[in-house]
Amino acid sequence: MALRCQFVDPGKTVTVTQVAWVKDPAGTKINLAVHNPDLGTTYPSVPEIGDRFRFRAPSLTDATLIIDPLQMRDDGIYSCEFATFPEGNQEGTTNLTILARPTNTGTALLVRAGAAEVAVASCQSSGGKPPSVITWRGAVMHNTSSETVLESDGTSTVTGKFLAVPTGHMDGEEVECIITQQTLEMPLAIPIALSIQYPPIVTIEGYDGDWFLNREHASITCNVKANPTADTYNWKMNGGEMPSSIRVVGHQLTVDSVSYKVNGTFTCEASNSLGTSSGSVDIVVREHKLSESSNAGAIAGGVIGGILALLLVVCLVGFILHRRRAAGQASGSYSPKTRVFGARNGDPGPRPDFTYRPDSDSERGPSLAPTTTVTNTYNNTVATPLRGAEEDSPDSPPPLPWRDEGMMDEEGGMFLAEKPTDMPTEDDMESQRDGSIISKKPVYV
């Protein structure tokens, strides 16, 4: 390690008489090296310094200091001082900071399951400068603790612990120790699998609920979780001994041919150094294979479902047709003898004639046509009388006026009434999709 220090005097107006290096000038002020052209070069013997400090090349202009080997305790403030004439003493200071990359480890602590919170994992970052910061990450409910120890060489050792209430289900769970320190490019994550000792946890697997008469090689398995591993297994049926028709090999029980003798409760006991636990299952022997009745039920269910689906479709179609018919009636009805034609393709064409014309000669009667205006002196109303087709004939009957059979004059005769005003208007018409126009009002014949 080199600490550079040079004195520059371009005008040669200053005389340098001595150069020296001092550590911590504002504090204890430890002299490290001194060079005087007349008295020579000296390195004061300091126990914590030793002989690791020296000038690169003793000179009054270049006082670069070499530190070899560099140690952690060498960080601090260094001052290079020049004694000059006539300017007096001149100095320059530098702050030497030494970083150390720590050594990081993580481990699980072997503990027994219990009700008290204890340390279940530990993480250590030693020999670091500055001290490391330790955090934890994991799905297990936990607390943390941290302790820092300053070493004699100026480094630090940080110990972090993961605290939790240990349970058997926690065994094997993974947590992470996260170490952050200035010399690390990014935080270091150390995975740790927890190791919790606990008595066996027993479950029985393999029973499918379909043990029927004469079924071959039906088996169940005693599934055991334990730390340390379970070393003994013991099977019982209804709390007693096993029938001779049942084979037991370790943690597996097998029935070569199912009969009503195996109808009952099977229990498996497992033990390790911490204790013994058990698990049970109820075996029900059926007369027939469960899948056969299940298939028949599935077929019947499929047939019923198909019939219901068909009925649903029929009801839906009927409902749609009913709604369409109701919508058509709501838009207005008309007699087959009322025919109103309109243009197609969006062309309005000529305005339609809404005058009713009988379909046969027998229905026509005398042909009527409006001819002239007649004034009724009874009620001063103006009406338009009708005249037959032979109006130019002198023998034809007089023009027939518009009549209202329910109205009589004072002499008992019919009198003229106003022309009906309920003839279709443009507002009474409705356009159709094919371009035609029909009346919204019903016409009776």
Q: Which two tokens stand for residue 378?
A: 């009874």
- DSSP string covering 367-409: --EE---EEETTTTEEE--EE-TTTT-TTSPPPBPP--TT-B-
- Cα–Cα distances in Å, from 233 out to 267, 268, 276? 10, 7, 10
Pairing of strands 2-3, 111-112: unpaired
Express each pLDDT in 52-99 by its tens digit. 899 998 889 899 999 988 888 888 899 999 999 988 888 899 999 999
Q: What is the mean pLDDT of residues 410-416?
A: 49
Rounded Cα distance between 160 and 162, Å, is 7
Residue 306 pLDDT greater than 90, yes or no = no
Q: What is the mean pLDDT of residues 115-126?
A: 96
Q: Which two tokens stand for residue 60?
A: 């009054």
User: In whole angstroms, what separates CA 66 from the centre of its chain?
Assistant: 61
Express each pLDDT in 6-37 by its tens digit. 888 888 888 999 999 999 888 888 889 999 99
* 91 touches 83 (CB < 8 A): no
H helix or E strand, kind and range, residue 314: helix 290-330
- Count of beta carbons in the 10 Å neighbourhood of residue 321: 10
- pLDDT grade for 142, boundaries at 50, 70 and 90: very high
User: In whole angstroms, what separates CA 280 from the centre of its chain?
Assistant: 39
Q: Which two tokens stand for residue 7?
A: 């004195």
* 269 touches 277 (CB < 8 A): yes
Q: What is the mean pLDDT of residues 385-396?
A: 45
Question: Considering the chain, what percentage of its residues have pLDDT values greater than 70?
Answer: 70
* Closest by Cα among 118, 262, 249, 303 to 194: 118
Please, which residues have CB within 8 angstroms of residue 47's CB and are 6 or more apart in sequence? Answer: none
H helix or E strand, kind and range, residue 111: strand 111-112
User: In whole angstroms, what separates CA 13 from the centre of its chain?
Assistant: 78
User: What pLDDT, on the 0 to 100 scale, is given for residue 380?
Assistant: 43
Dihedral angle of Cα 8, 10, 15, 20, to the nearest 10 degrees:
0
For domain 2-96, the CATH superfamily is Immunoglobulins (2.60.40.10)
Please, which residues have CB within 8 angstroms of residue 317's CB and are 6 or more apart in sequence? Answer: none
Q: Which two tokens stand for residue 146?
A: 């941290």
* 424 touches 443 (CB < 8 A): no
Task: Kindly report the CATH number that applies to the domain delimited by 103-194.
Answer: 2.60.40.10
3-state secondary structure of 153: coil
Domain spanning 201-286, CATH architecture: Sandwich (2.60)
* Exposed/middle/buried for residue 423 (C-beta within 10 Å: 0-12, 13-18, 19+): exposed
* Closest by Cα among 90, 85, 70 to 19: 90
Express each pLDDT in 170-195 by its tens digit. 999 999 999 999 999 999 999 999 99
Which range in 65-79, 124-138, 285-299 is most confidently predicted, on average pLDDT?
124-138
* Closest by Cα among 234, 257, 132 to 187: 132
